[in-house]
Structures are given as C-alpha cells and as structure tokens.
C-alpha cells in the first residue's frame, strides 16, 4: 500500500491573488522595519524627486529605504547581493513589493542620500528614546577599526613617491624630446604612440604628486599639533618661539617619514594597526552605547587611529541626536587626556566622567602634580574608590557587544564606499539597522 502524502503539486498555478502579508510569520524583522520606516520623516528623500513630472517615475524612496535598512540589518552590504536577494529572499520580496531595482540603482540611491541616511539614524535614536529604550543614565564610548575599501597594493610610500616622481619627469622629458625629432630620425625605430604614452605618464605623475602633497599636508598638521613651526630649524621651541631643551627633530617641518604611505584608491583612509597584528587601510569608528538596552546613540567615523581627542565629538553627537546629556560616561584608557577632561568639565558640567588611566592589567602611573593635572589626579582618586571601580567595570559589557555585533553578526568588516564622508554615512546606516534589530527584539520580548 502506497504512502499518503500531503498534496504536492508544484505545477499548480495560484488560483487567488497572493497576499504579501501571508509570506512571513508575524513579528518578523522585515515587518518591524517596514512599520518603523513608515513612521519616519522621509520628506528629504522625496524632495530629490519633486518636480520630476509624470514621465519621471523613480522607485519609491520608502521601498528603497526599507530594502537597504533590512539588507544592512541582515548583513547584506553589496548592491549586487541586495539586487539578487530581491528575487530570491521572501523578506526582501515583501519589502520590495514586486519591485526589482538593478544593483546600479541601489548603489546610486545609497550614494545619493548620504545626508538623508545620517538624519534617519538620529530619527531612530529619538524613536528608541520615546519607546523608553534609551535612558541616558550611563553611556559607554568605544572605538573600533573598520577596513577601508582600499587596495593595499595601490599605495606608495613617501620615499617611493619621490623617486618615482623624478623617474616620471625624466621619462616625460625624454618623450617630449623624442616627439620633437623628425620622422627621418625615427624611421628605423619601433612604433610608439607618443601622445598616449605622454598622457599615461602625466596622469600617473599627477596622481603621485597629489598623494605626496596629501602626505606633506598631514605631516604639517601633525607637526603644528606638536607645537612645531616652519622656521624652527628642527629645534624644540616654547610657545614664544625660543629654543628649549630636548633632542632636535629628525626631519624638517612638514616632511613625512620615508615610510609614510598614502592610498590611491581611498586617499581619506589611513594605515592603522588591526587587532591580532598587522596593518590595514582603515577608519576609526566611534560608538556611544546606552546602558539600558544597548542602543547606539552616536556613531561617528574619523580617519585618526587614536581615540584620545574623539570624546567631545561623540558626546556632542549624543546631545544632538537625543536632545539631552548623559548622566555618566564611561571610556577606556585610549580616551585619557587632561585637556579633554578639562574641556568636558566646562561643556558638560553635570556629566560624570569615568575614564581609565591605563590598560587593564597594565596600570599606568597617574601624575601626582594636582596643579598641572587636576582632572587626571581627581580621576585617579575616583578609580581607587569602590564605586569608581564598580562603575568602570560596566564599560566592557555596555560598549563592546555592539561593536562585536556589527562585525560578527552583521558582518561589517570593510566599508562598501570610499571616502570619509561616505564611510560616516554608511556606518550610521549600519548602526541604525542594528538599533532596529535591538528594538524589534525588545518589542517581541
């Protein structure tokens, strides 16, 4: 006797119109993102297409935003993969509602609305606060390195730039001299398209010269931050310009180290040390995380590898996004700075700072001169108390999980777009998507 199976007729056509709402179970993340995006102000997205006329029919911005946010919330960052998911994945098809934009359309929409996505991140943070998921009692700030979309093989050191620049100038001069020769003098030489060769070498020379100037500009800014000036004759000087004790500088003002590098694919990125060893062209992503439900309330990106000067910028972003100041801020030793603590004492007098003075297990000696380092001395005293140690211990489980989710759950280890401004917008898009995942989970709980 043959088995009796549940009816299975793959050739059967649907007899009734399908309802998209029946394709996914209730409480699915796609529905939460769809409902949330519908509640946000998308007027800035619509403004781009206003006055286009009836012949201009772009894809609906709400649909594009939903698809992109859901894509980032599920770890799909490539425009080609998103376009493919719209055909293959049920949740993407529900959000797309039978729209199938090409990968170029998705790529261009994302690139053209960087400022709008930045504002959407702030709207989602405010919405989370209205839902009671952001308390701003205690926040923790942390930084993480994210690889830039830059090739390590399309970069050059300052020393190599100098030698290559000289070589190219000599080659261009030789080609110009060759072009001035008569045809009779060249009749027995192999054919050479001199204009094309000149154009190629001149383009490469221009790229190298621009990269060389970028390195020199960065070095000038770094030297000025150290108190150097153009006419210091490599000697340390005080604020009045008078020589003071100390070893002379190895290089003239504004001259980079020979091994300093610049990328041709993403000039804004910088060489940064990665966890586990090695170096990559990267950006430094900063997050401020609220204690109550791990909602990211600020997400900024800089191309400086150190965290020490970033705390005021991040806390300004927290206040901008939420309209309020946190009661307490926790940060690791990377943010230690007497000048920063002095500045925040003036701008955020009601916010308590708890900043480590050394790495865990490798305590760094605190200065004892309270007249020169009053804030650092006071912080050292605070961290010696039981309450100070208890407060700081919370930092790790508040700040570090979201960075781990971004890299290991969503899978963002490299930016899709190039340039600092685009990296800033993309990181906010990632953090907004993660916030929505958290908000959906809290609502379902």
Residues 326 and 237 in one domain: no
Residues 93 and 198 in one domain: no
User: Quick one: pLDDT at residue 88?
Assistant: 93
Residues 327 and 226 in one domain: no
Query: Of 246, 263, 280, which one is at a domain's C-terminal end?
Result: 263
User: Quick one: pLDDT at residue 275?
Assistant: 75
Residues 274 and 414 in one domain: yes
* Phi and psi angles of residue 152, each rounded to the nearest 5 degrees, phi first: -70, -20
Residues 238 and 369 in one domain: no
DSSP of 163-225: HHHHHHHHHHHHHHHHHTS-TGGGTTSPP--HHHHHHHHHHHHHHHHHHHHHHHHHHHHHHHH
Q: What CATH number does the domain containing 333 carry? A: 3.30.420.10
Q: Could you give the angle at the alpha carbon of 417 between the alpha carbons of 416 and 418, nearest 5°?
A: 130
- Whether the predicted pLDDT of 435 surpasses 90: yes
Q: How many CA atoms are closer than 13 Å to the CA of 271, on its beta-carbon side?
A: 17
**327 or 7, which is more confident:** 327
Residue 244 within a domain? yes
Q: Which residues pair with 143 in a beta bridge?
A: 286
Residue 12 within a domain? no
Residues 247 and 273 in one domain: no
Residue 4 within a domain? no
Residue 170 within a domain? yes
Q: What is the pLDDT of residues 129-186, one digit of tens each?
A: 999 999 989 999 999 999 988 876 666 666 666 776 676 667 667 766 666 665 555 5
Residues 360 and 428 in one domain: yes
User: Quick one: pLDDT at residue 38?
Assistant: 92
Query: Of 210, 243, 263, which one is at a domain's C-terminal end?
Result: 263
For the chain, the helix, strand and coil percentages under 3-state DSSP, each to the nearest 5: 50, 10, 40
Tell me how far apart the alpha carbons of residues 287 and 257 are, in angstroms, rounded to a whole number: 32
* pLDDT tier for residue 218 given thresholds of 50, 70 and 90: confident
- Whether the predicted pLDDT of 363 surpasses 70: no
User: Quick one: pLDDT at residue 278?
Assistant: 78
**200 or 97, which is more confident:** 97
Residues 295 and 420 in one domain: yes
User: Quick one: pLDDT at residue 428?
Assistant: 95
Q: What is the pLDDT of residues 51-63, one digit of tens each?
A: 665 556 788 889 9
Residue 7 within a domain? no
* pLDDT tier for residue 2 given thresholds of 50, 70 and 90: low
- Model confidence, pTM: 0.82
Residues 107 and 133 in one domain: no
Tell me how far apart the alpha carbons of residues 213 and 220 are, in angstroms, rounded to a whole number: 10
Tell me how far apart the alpha carbons of residues 94 and 96 are, in angstroms, rounded to a whole number: 5
Q: For residue 83, which of 91, 92, 72, 74 has the smallest C-alpha distance? A: 92
Residues 346 and 376 in one domain: yes
Residues 417 and 314 in one domain: yes
Residue 15 within a domain? no
Tell me how far apart the alpha carbons of residues 299 and 321 are, in angstroms, rounded to a whole number: 10
Q: What is the pLDDT of residues 279-327, one digit of tens each?
A: 888 999 999 999 999 999 999 999 888 888 899 999 999 999 998 999 9
Query: Of 197, 231, 263, which one is at a domain's C-terminal end?
Result: 263
Residues 251 and 306 in one domain: no
N residues, the chain: 445
- 302 close to 286: Cβ distance less than 8 angstroms: yes
* pLDDT tier for residue 269 given thresholds of 50, 70 and 90: confident
Residue 1 within a domain? no
Tell me how far apart the alpha carbons of residues 142 and 145 are, in angstroms, rounded to a whole number: 10
* pLDDT tier for residue 353 given thresholds of 50, 70 and 90: very high
- Whether the predicted pLDDT of 234 surpasses 90: no
Residue 9 within a domain? no
Domain that holds residue 308: 118-151+268-444
Tell me how far apart the alpha carbons of residues 239 and 164 are, in angstroms, rounded to a whole number: 38
- 353 close to 379: Cβ distance less than 8 angstroms: yes
How many domains does the chain fold into?
3
**Residue carrying the six token digits 């709980």:** 445
**Residue carrying the six token digits 């050479």:** 192
* pLDDT tier for residue 328 given thresholds of 50, 70 and 90: very high
**423 or 197, which is more confident:** 423
Q: What is the pLDDT of residues 104-132, one digit of tens each?
A: 999 999 999 999 999 999 999 999 999 99
Q: Could you give the angle at the alpha carbon of 271 between the alpha carbons of 265 and 273, nearest 5°?
A: 140
């Amino acid at each position: 006797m043959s088995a009796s199976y549940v009816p299975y007729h793959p050739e059967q056509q649907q007899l009734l119109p399908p309802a998209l709402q029946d394709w996914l179970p209730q409480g699915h993340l796609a529905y939460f993102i769809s409902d949330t995006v519908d509640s946000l102000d998308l007027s800035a997205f619509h403004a781009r297409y206003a006055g286009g006329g009836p012949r201009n029919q772009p894809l609906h911005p709400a649909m594009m935003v939903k698809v992109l946010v859901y894509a980032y919330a599920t770890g799909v960052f490539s425009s080609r993969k998103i376009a493919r998911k719209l055909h293959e994945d049920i949740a993407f098809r529900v959000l797309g509602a039978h729209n199938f934009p090409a990968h170029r359309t998705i790529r261009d929409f994302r690139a053209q609305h960087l400022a709008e996505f930045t504002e959407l991140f702030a709207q989602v943070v405010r919405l989370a606060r209205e839902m009671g998921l952001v308390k701003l009692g205690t926040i923790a700030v942390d930084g993480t390195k994210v690889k830039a979309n830059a090739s390590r093989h399309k970069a050059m050191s300052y020393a190599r730039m100098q030698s290559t620049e000289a070589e190219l100038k000599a080659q261009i001069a030789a080609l110009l001299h060759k072009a001035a020769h008569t045809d009779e003098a060249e009749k027995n030489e192999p054919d050479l398209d001199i204009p094309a060769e000149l154009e190629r070498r001149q383009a490469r020379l221009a790229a190298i010269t621009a990269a060389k100037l970028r390195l020199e500009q960065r070095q000038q800014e770094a030297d000025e931050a150290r108190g150097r000036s153009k006419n210091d004759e490599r000697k340390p000087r005080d604020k009045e310009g008078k020589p003071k004790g100390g070893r002379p500088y190895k290089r003239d003002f504004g001259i980079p180290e020979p091994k300093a590098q610049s990328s041709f694919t993403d000039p804004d990125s910088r060489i940064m040390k990665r966890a586990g060893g090695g170096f990559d062209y990267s950006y430094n992503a900063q997050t401020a995380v609220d204690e109550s439900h791990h909602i990211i309330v600020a997400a900024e990106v800089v191309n400086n590898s150190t965290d020490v000067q970033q705390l005021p910028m991040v806390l300004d972003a927290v206040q901008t996004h939420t309209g309020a100041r946190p009661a307490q801020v926790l940060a690791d030793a990377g943010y230690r700075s007497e000048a920063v603590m002095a500045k925040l004492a003036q701008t955020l007098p009601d916010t308590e700072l708890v900043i480590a003075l050394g790495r865990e297990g490798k305590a760094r000696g605190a200065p004892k001169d309270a007249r020169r380092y009053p804030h650092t001395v006071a912080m050292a005293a605070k961290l010696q108390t039981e309450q100070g140690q208890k407060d700081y211990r919370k930092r790790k489980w508040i700040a570090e999980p979201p960075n781990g989710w971004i890299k290991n759950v969503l899978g963002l280890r490299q930016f899709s777009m190039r340039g600092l401004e685009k990296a800033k917008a993309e990181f906010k898009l990632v953090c907004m998507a993660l916030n929505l995942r958290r908000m959906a989970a809290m609502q379902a709980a």
